Structure 1
Amino acid sequence: MASSSSSTAKPMEAVRSGSVLSNVVTVLLLLSLGFVFGMVYNANFQESHLTPFLQPLPSLLRSSPTRSSPTPVVGCGVGPPSPSPTPPQAPPPARMGFADFLAPSGGGLAHNMTDEELFWRASMVPRVALVPRRIVPKVAFLFLVTGDMPLRPLWEKFFAGHEGLYSIYVHASPAYTGSPPADSVFYGRMIPSQVTNTSWGNMNLVDAERRLLGTALLDLGNARFALLSETCIPLLSFPAAYAFLTSANASFIDSFPTRKRHAPFFLRRNISRAQWRKGSQWFEMDRELAVDVVAEEQYMAVFRGDHGIANMLEHYMPTLVTLLGWGARAANRTLTYTDWPRPGPHPASYGVRDVTPELLEGMRRGNGECGSGASGAVEFCFMFARKFSGDALDKLLELAPKVMGFG
């Protein structure tokens, strides 16, 4: 009987062992299926939610190739979950070529940079002398205006037919909300301003000038920079002005010694009497000096201080010429004619009754410190003149072909 009981127990133990083994295999199979399912789901999740910061660099520079759907798991009866629809992604930025670095993208002037950011960017200078492609130099015309430009049609005649050789930048009073017509070369040339207010003789006008220069420096093709106002007119044709400016070795900044006033100011700030200067704010400068102007901060802080001087605008740039050692690189005169009658705090102005061929020719020839155009035929001392009112426009347009050589 004992032998019979022992032989019966062995099959029962075998059955129990087989049942446990079967349970273990079943559990392991379920765990394996769960692991595979989780891996497939995780891969699908990353495929659908990959952020730009996790994408490889090439996908940021060109369109990503179309990705195929994950392959279902074969033989297990389990497939990946259906991917959730994702919102359309903006196309990646196009590759930038050399030409994109020569001028702001699209030629637009809109940006939201602060003065500090703009001047930092504008003051960068290439250190390699030989550029990979010839850059045609342009003259940047910087218009510092209060509002509308009544003499705009005259300037449009001046620029006509010379596209690619000039750039236009306009800084208007913050209160101005107008705009030139869409067919004007001045349309869309208003720069974004950080100046909250502008007033005569104040350093906030220097802020506006520096922002004009900084924005123009973003275009690497701009080689010369001329500051003008809405009352300025050209006294030469564009070809004559362009030839002279792009071949000049000097910048034209009015700067002459003055010791009659403000001695306590400059002596307290370590500015010598020989360095203290005065002159016209209207300049024509090269790119190297323009970079120095936007990068300079030490003396800007000095001139912004509480100094009790009414018109710092006429002292800052002329004095900066000597402080930064520009003497050998800057001609001690401006190319913009202004008549300052004595006595009087304001320059002479000209209306329709004042405009004659003799007046314009006299302004152009000036006081005898003359240069000549590329042909040597046109002698001049001044390239621009101010201060003309809007009612003189028709007369100026009439005389432009005969006296100034354009229109």
Structure 2
Amino acid sequence: MKRRSNSQKFHLSWRRKFLAVVLLVFCLATIGLMESQYSRVRTLMLISPPLLKPKIAFLFIARNRIPLDMVWDVFFQGDTENRFSIYVHSRPGFLLTQATTRSEFFLNCQINNSIQVEWGEASMIKAERILLQHALMDPFNSRFVFVSDSCIPLYNFSYTYDYIMSTSSSFVDSFADKKESRYNPRMHPTIPVENWRKGSQWVVLTRKHARIVVEDESVFPMFQLHCKRKSLPEFWRDRPIPADTSKEHNCIPDEHYVQTLLAQKGVEGEITRRSLTHSSWDLSSSRDPKRKGWHPATYKLADATPALIKSIKDIDNIYFETEYRREWCTSKGKPSKCFLFARKFTRPAALRLLNTSALEISSKDQSDTA
């Protein structure tokens, strides 16, 4: 075997030293670049605090387009600090473009894996879970507000934001449901009857509770199997006529799911037991006795008056019928109005309220933020 000459050994040693120096310089440069980037991020954090503020995720459940988009457009214009995000669940294939919405806030806000939703079916709560999955991807989303396509805001953005952020609890209308016709014994023992709850689907969730809904793998399957609405005569042409409709369980999934799930998980003490969305069920019952209790009232053009909005805003307490008690609404530990949103409004009714200034939702409206 040939031995290396002194000259070869010298050149080999020199190359190793050179490579070591290059590697050291590269490491020092990388560390310097990382420190520079870190300093830049810290500087941006200091000069751009609005980008770091917690956001409200508005989760719209719509058939197709958002019919009241211009009302919401005025509402969202009240925010200049990037404190909200929008997610829309519409029928599969529907796109929010300049041809289907007049508000830039809704452009391309539809989620890409929507499903066909049927009223009174578990598909409604599946759509809610899909919306939450998308909204949770943004770490700055702190509150999650479910909104229907017939819903309007009652106050401007700043007041709404402060109200929702003023408490660490979720707003979930929830009470023990004592009607046996709604609870299906087949849900036992996964869902015991003592955890069965009823309320409104228009909830406001904290991030913790939103994650509970998305990660649920036990309650949701039970609802898919055993929580179904009572068949209605208008659907009998498409389905077999039931032998005795009086024996059917009349379970509307979206009125029970979140409430029952949070009771099942033992976090009821972390919720404010009311919805922030007003619906007029009594008026609906008086207008259509044959369909009593199925749907809330729909406000049309003739109903859209300043007096109507004032009457909703003036509500300051909730009566819990099953518990025979009344609870006054509070915000920041002080007496407050109960509702931030209201439904169900037709497009003409909502536009009339907007055009007559009956809705004080512009950033210039300060009367409700004092």
Q: What TM-score, normalized by structure 1, do the two folds share?
A: 0.62
For 1:97 and 1:293, locate their aligned partners in 2 and report how far apart those are by CA, in whole Å: 38
Match status 1:312 vs 2:256: no
Q: CA deviation at 1:306?
A: 4.3
Residue of structure 1 in register with 2:209 after alignment:
289
| C-alpha deviation, 1:359, in angstroms | 0.9
Structure 2: 5+ residue runs without aligned partners?
1-25, 31-36, 42-49, 231-251, 286-291, 318-327, 365-370
* Partner of residue 239 from structure 1, selected from 137, 141, 158: 158
Match of 2:325 in 1: none
Determine if the alignment matches structure 1 residue 211 to structure 2 residue 168: no
- CA offsets per residue over residues 187-244 of structure 1, 9 Å max, x none? 011111242x210021111111111111111111111110001100001110000011
Is 1:370 the equivalent of 2:329?
A: yes
Deviation, structure 1 residue 267: 6.0
RMSD over equivalenced CA pairs, Å: 3.0
| Alignment match, 1:158 | 75
Separation of aligned partners in 2, 1:268 and 1:183: 47
Q: Is the 8 A contact 2:176 2:198 kept in 1?
A: yes
Q: Residue 224 and residue 267 in structure 1: after superposition, are their counterparts in 2 closer, same or farther (change >3 A)?
A: closer
Per the alignment, residue 347 of structure 1 pairs with 296
1:351 CA displacement:
1.1
1:170 to 78, 88, 92: 88
| Mapped pair 1:271 → 2:191 | yes
One-letter amino acid of the counterpart of residue 309, structure 2: L
Q: Output the CA distance in 1 between the equivalents of 2:309 and 2:342.
A: 9
Residue by residue over 1:332-375, the C-alpha shift from the partner in whole angstroms, topping out at 9 and shown as x without a partner, is 1110001112334111010111011121122123252333479x
Aligned length: 279
Flag structure 1 segments of 5+ consecutive residues without an equivalent.
Answer: 1-57, 63-94, 100-132
- Over 3 Å counting, the alpha-carbon distance change for 1:340 and 1:185 in structure 2 is same
Relative to structure 1, the CA distance from residue 396 to residue 330 in structure 2 (aligned partners, 3 Å threshold; closer, same or farther) is: same
Name the CA shift for 1:98/1:292 in 2 (closer, same or farther; >3 Å): farther
Report the CA distance between 1:297 and its aligned residue: 0.9
Q: Residues of 1 paired with 2:39 and 2:268: CA distance?
A: 38
Residue 192 (structure 2) pairs with residue 251 (structure 1): no
Q: Is the 8 A contact 2:171 2:274 kept in 1?
A: yes
- In the alignment, what sits opposite 1:88? none
- Check whether the contact 2:135–2:141 (CA below 8 A) recurs between aligned residues: yes
Distance in 1, Cα, partners of 2:69 & 2:299 = 16
Instruction: Show the counterpart of 1:141.
Output: 58
Please list every run of at least 4 consecutive aligned residues from structure 1 whose deviation after the TM superposition is greater than 6 angstroms.
95-99
Larger Rg computed on CA atoms: 1
Question: Conserved in 1, the CA contact under 8 Å of 2:174 and 2:274?
Answer: yes
Offset, 1:400: 4.0
- Whichever residue aligns with residue 346 of structure 1, its letter is H
Preserved CA contact (<8 Å) 1:232 1:384: yes
* Greater RCO (CA < 8 Å, at least 6 residues apart): 2
Q: In structure 2, what residue type is equivalent to 1:277?
A: R
Instruction: Report SS of the residue matched to 1:228.
Output: strand
